Structure formats: C-alpha cells, structure tokens
C-alpha cells in the first residue's frame, strides 16, 4: 500500500472522481492499493486513525459515495484481467473471466476480446467494473445475457475487520447474493470478480433520428416496441433539444420494428470497437449535469409525454425486458425484474430536472436503479423492493458498525 497525503504532488489528480460536482471533496489521505493485502493494510490504517473509508474503482457514483473526507481507497492498481476455461454441468467448456476491481470497462472489453469472450456491461470507458457490477449493470448485451451481476460467479471481499472472504453460490452465499445488485461498497471492499463470460460478438450499430417535433410519436412507438423486441437488439431512446434518436446495437440483421426515420448503420463491428464508437460520442465538457431517474412498468400516457416535452430536459429511455426480466426478483439483490424501461431526466439545471421528474413520477413504479442513486431519495426500499429486509440482515452480519456504504 502506498499512502498519499495532501502535500503529495499527485494528490489532487488522484482525489478527484469522474463527476465534477464532487471535485471539492478532499480525503485526509489516499491509499493506493494493488493487491488484496494492500486493502487489508489500508483498512487497518483507517481503523487505527478513526477515518471513514470509501473504495473507488471508477469514481462515477451519482451520490458521491466514491469520495470521502476520510481514507480514499484507490483500487486502480487492481486491474488484472485473466480468462480460464471451465467445464459446465453438461461437460461443455465455458470461460471464466477474473477481473481486478480497479479495471475500467474499455480495458475489460479489450482484454477479454483477446480471448474471444466478453461480459454484458455498460459503455462508459472509464467506468469501474466493480461498481457497475455491484449495482446491477445495464448494457447493450443485457437483453441477451442479463445484468453484469447476473454473470458474476465469485468475488473476493475484504471485510471491515480485515478478514478476506471468497464468496460464490456455495461460499458465503448470503454475501454473494447481496453483491449482485445491492450497490457498490455496501458490505466490504471487493478486490476481484469472477464472471461467466460469453462469446465476444460481431454486431451492428444503428441510429435512427427524427426532428424533435416528432418526439411524442417516437416515444409512443418506442414504448410499445423496444422492451418486447428480440433479445438480440437493444434500442435506447434519447430526446435532446433538437432531435430524437433511437440507437443501440443488434446481433442479428437490423429490424427497426415500427420506427421509420433517418437510419444510419455500421455493420461488422467487433465488440470493443462497437463499445468504443459509443464512448467516443460521450466526451464530457467538465460541466455539472444533474439527473434523476425511475423505472416504469407500463407506458407513459400521451398527455404526460406532451408535458414532459415542455420541461426541456434531456430524456434518456433504456429498455428492460429480455434476459433482464427472466430472473426472479429475489434470485439476486437486484429486484427490478418486471420493469419495461428506465427513464432518466438530465440537465445542467437542477430545478428543471426535478420538474421533469415530477411530471413522470406518478406513472413510475417507484423503483430506482442502484447504480443511479438519488440524493433526494427518502425511501431506501425503492432501490431493493422486497429484498430490502434481507439486505439489512446481511449488512448487520458483515458490517455491523456501518463502515461502508453511506445511507443505503
């Protein structure tokens, strides 16, 4: 473990998370960890100095939980990626991918693709694999293979008292259940994750655009089509100030369903190249963007859509359905297995975001994606539904003094 204090020239660069609204938070010290043993030492240091702890993989937490005024655990040194063959129950050979908790998604996709495999996960190239997995993990392969956490086969976790545990379906099964969807940093510091990998596909990227004047019509059609589309296609919807765009990826010949607009296709992309093509569009300008989101289990009424379009927020619709919804709500900590889509409201204007959210909220299911935590939330059961009580019991068993995880 390397301990870095405020007087170190590297301190300011290392302390800043990905989201600019939390750049002002200054930890007492930063522990740079490159092994599980380093994490054990860092937690011992925090205990002996009475410091709060925040582990950081990518630093993208919407609620700022990957920052602290105590001891920041920089896990970027835990970034190894390895793939090994593993027999299945049928005797066929599969692949297990072991990934360090500090690995970022761009490196994960490249590293796994060298072995002909991948995992379902998000698009942000600098997003950390651990935080994404622990909160669920939506992505372009999700409707085909499920959440990122649905592919989790095992994990190594350092508990608050310094004990190291290996968890899986058969070892520490309650903790393993909680790691699959409860949210990042709730029960301990995950240092390594093992995934059941899937073949790395060749895919087609698509984009269909319309002028914003057609937004209401496009939203109505999208709501009835995208959540029920074949598992091979993921079609998200974004409403911006000047246009409406349905975009995503398909593993089969492109079929736009009922949507008819200006179509652009890029065929034959490797999975890392496809992911990179989306990442290249998402270059942040350093400004603070506020957002709120909720799940919906039924389509928004037309009059509500019309009101939303007057709120002048960017609206981002993500389809559920497919493999996401073919898992029981209590099979993992991620409880949202019957939702049709996730709607995010985003703007540089916090008041506009709240106004837009309040228009849609009466028609929402009241459930929130754990990876999109909402600082305004007063009911923590919204993250976990019927799984909340079991998660509280597991928290008491593994982190009784609430060393980790904020208020969830």
User: Do 169 and 218 reside in the same domain of the chain?
Assistant: no
User: Do 173 and 234 reside in the same domain of the chain?
Assistant: no
pTM for the complete prediction?
0.96
Other beta carbons within 10 Å of 290: 18
- Distance from C-alpha of 60 to C-alpha of 67, rounded to nearest angstrom: 10
Domain presence at residue 405? no
User: Do 109 and 246 reside in the same domain of the chain?
Assistant: no
User: Do 256 and 322 reside in the same domain of the chain?
Assistant: yes
- Distance from C-alpha of 100 to C-alpha of 108, rounded to nearest angstrom: 10
User: Do 253 and 377 reside in the same domain of the chain?
Assistant: yes
User: Do 207 and 131 reside in the same domain of the chain?
Assistant: no
CATH for 89: 3.30.465.10
Residue ending a domain, choose from 74, 93, 111:
74
Q: Which of 288, 296, 53 is nearest to 184 (CA)?
A: 53
The dihedrals phi and psi of 237, each to the nearest 5 degrees, come to -135, 130
User: Do 232 and 360 reside in the same domain of the chain?
Assistant: yes
- Report the interhelical angle of 105-113 vs 271-279 (nearest 10°): 160
Q: What is the DSSP letter of 8?
A: S
CATH for 41: 3.30.43.10
Residue 49, domain extent: 2-74
Token couple for 252: 């089969």
User: Do 66 and 116 reside in the same domain of the chain?
Assistant: no
Domain presence at residue 407? no
User: Do 86 and 126 reside in the same domain of the chain?
Assistant: yes
For the chain, what is the domain count? 3
pLDDT tens string, the chain, 408 residues long: the values are 999 999 999 999 999 999 999 999 999 999 999 999 999 999 999 999 999 999 999 999 999 999 999 999 999 999 999 999 987 766 667 899 999 999 999 999 999 999 999 999 998 999 999 999 999 999 999 999 999 999 999 999 999 999 999 999 999 999 999 999 999 889 999 999 999 999 999 999 999 999 999 999 999 999 999 999 999 999 999 999 999 999 999 999 999 999 999 999 999 999 999 999 987 555 455 678 999 999 999 999 999 999 999 998 999 999 999 999 999 999 999 999 999 999 999 999 999 999 999 999 999 999 999 999 998 888 889 999 999 999 999 999 999 999 997 544
User: Do 141 and 279 reside in the same domain of the chain?
Assistant: no
CATH for 336: 3.40.462.20
User: Do 267 and 327 reside in the same domain of the chain?
Assistant: yes
């Amino acid at each position: 473990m390397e301990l870095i204090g405020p007087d170190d020239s590297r301190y300011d660069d290392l302390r800043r998370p990905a989201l600019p609204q939390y750049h002002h938070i200054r930890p007492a010290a930063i522990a740079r960890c490159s092994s599980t043993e380093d994490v054990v030492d860092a937690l011992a240091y925090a205990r002996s100095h009475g410091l709060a702890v925040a582990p950081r993989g990518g630093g993208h937490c919407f609620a700022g939980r990957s920052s602290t005024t105590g001891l920041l655990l920089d896990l970027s040194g835990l970034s190894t990626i390895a793939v090994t063959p593993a027999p299945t129950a049928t005797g066929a050979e599969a692949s297990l991918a072991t990934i360090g908790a500090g690995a970022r998604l761009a490196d994960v996709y490249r590293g796994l693709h060298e072995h002909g495999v991948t995992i379902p996960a998000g698009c942000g190239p600098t997003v950390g694999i651990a935080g994404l997995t622990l909160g669920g993990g939506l992505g372009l392969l999700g409707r085909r293979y499920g959440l990122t956490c649905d592919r989790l086969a095992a994990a190594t976790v350092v508990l608050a008292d310094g004990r190291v545990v290996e968890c899986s379906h058969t070892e520490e099964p309650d903790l393993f259940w909680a790691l699959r969807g409860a949210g990042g940093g709730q029960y301990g510091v995950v240092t390594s994750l093992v995934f059941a990998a899937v073949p790395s596909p060749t895919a087609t990227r698509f984009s269909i655009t319309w002028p914003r004047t057609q937004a209401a019509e496009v939203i109505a059609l999208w709501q009835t089509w995208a959540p029920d589309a074949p598992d091979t296609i993921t079609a998200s919807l974004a409403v911006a100030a000047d246009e409406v765009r349905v975009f995503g990826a398909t593993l089969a010949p492109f079929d736009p369903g009922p949507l008819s607009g200006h179509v652009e296709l890029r065929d034959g992309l490797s999975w890392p190249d496809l992911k990179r093509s989306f990442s290249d569009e998402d270059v942040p300008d350093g400004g603070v963007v506020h957002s709120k989101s909720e799940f919906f289990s039924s389509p928004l009424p037309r009059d509500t859509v019309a009101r939303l379009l007057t709120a002048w927020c960017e609206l981002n619709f993500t389809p559920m359905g497919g493999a996401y919804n073919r898992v029981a709500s209590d099979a993992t900590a991620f409880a949202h297995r019957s939702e049709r889509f996730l709607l995010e409201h985003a703007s540089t204007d916090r008041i506009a975001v709240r106004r837009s959210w309040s228009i849609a909220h009466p028609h929402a299911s009241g459930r929130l994606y754990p990876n999109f935590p909402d600082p305004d939330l007063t009911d923590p059961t919204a993250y976990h539904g019927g799984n909340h009580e079991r998660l509280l019991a597991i928290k008491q068993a593994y982190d009784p003094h609430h060393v980790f995880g904020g208020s969830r």
